[in-house]
Each structure stands twice: as C-alpha cells, then as structure tokens.
Amino acid sequence: MSELNAEHLSQDLRHHLHEILAENQRLAEQLDYGQVAAIIPLIQHAERVFVVGAGRTGLALKAAAMRLMHLGLAVFVVGETTTPAIRRGDLLLAGSGSGTTSTIVKAAEKASAAGAQVVAISTTTASPLAALATQVVVLPAAQKQDHGGTISQQYAGSLFEQAVLLLTDAIFQGLWALDGTPAEELWKRHANLE
C-alpha cells in the first residue's frame, strides 16, 4: 500500500469512528432514561435473569449476562445447553430492534406463560415483543432493513446493536453503584479458565 493510500485510509477510518461515536451520542441524548431506570428494580428483584437476542444483539446481551454474573446474579443465556427452564420470579431480558424476530418473540411468549417478567430492548413499542413486555426500552436507532440512512449511516442494525452493549453496560454500572461491592470482590467471579 502506498503512503498516500495509507494516509487516505487512515483519514477514512478516523471519520467512520467519529461518525459511529456521534450517532451513539445522539442516541444517548434521545433516550428515555425513565424507561431504563424502570429495569433496575426488575433485575434486582428477579430470582434469575435470562437474556435472549439474535445475531450481534445476542452477542451484546451475552456481554451483559457476563457483567450481571460478575455482580453475583444468577444469569443464563437462552439457547445454551445449561440454561434451565424459566419460571415465575425470573426475568427475561430480550433484545430485538424490530420486536418481530420470531425466536425472540417465541422466547418472550414462553417466559410470559411461565409467569416470568419480560424486558424488551427494541426500536419500537408497536411490536409483538413489546406487547409481551413488562417494560420496554426504546432505543431510537434504525432497524436492520432501514436503508435510508436518515437515522444512521451505518450498515443494517449496527447502531442498535452498539447501543444495546453500551446501555447494558450503563445498567451494570448503575446496579454496581447501588450494590456497592468492591471491584476486588466482583473480580473473584471473573472467569479463571481462560
């Protein structure tokens, strides 16, 4: 690669990263933090927390599950072979931009039928997932097939997926502040078979 091309590529990468950060900042300014705050007691009072999401949203929720486990919560990822049956007293944290992803909606239906509460993270309150939820947090991000670029210049649901990760990290930080457990204690739960 020539020096001129490397410099141009470097400038492009800088521009793209700044645009991604700017989109996430705009989303954060539009977020209804009352919706987010309503999740905190649901997590605190749940006997167990289950997370479910597809694709990159699912990966972001797996990261959230890890942090909740570090807090000492009983957390399970839907679809893993060691995940038990959900029951009354449990909480399902479900992420779907459209709120129509069939596997996510089916999991929410089963959780609701079992007496568990459902929290939906989505881009809309007008969806089958939202209708099943105890609490909905709306992330003002583009849905996967919104190719117009008016909400986000990023591909597919990238802004939503990034926001799920950042939001669940903020929820963890809030729960941790309320809990007050020193970081050294949380670290004892960190994976040691790596």
For residues 118, 120, 124 and 129, what is the CA-based torsion angle, rounded to 10 degrees?
-50
Pairing of strands 117-122, 91-95: parallel
Q: Where are the beta strands (DSSP E) in the chain?
A: 49-53, 75-77, 91-95, 117-122, 135-138
Catalytic residues: 161
45 exposure class (CB count in 10 Å sphere: 0-12, 13-18, 19+): exposed
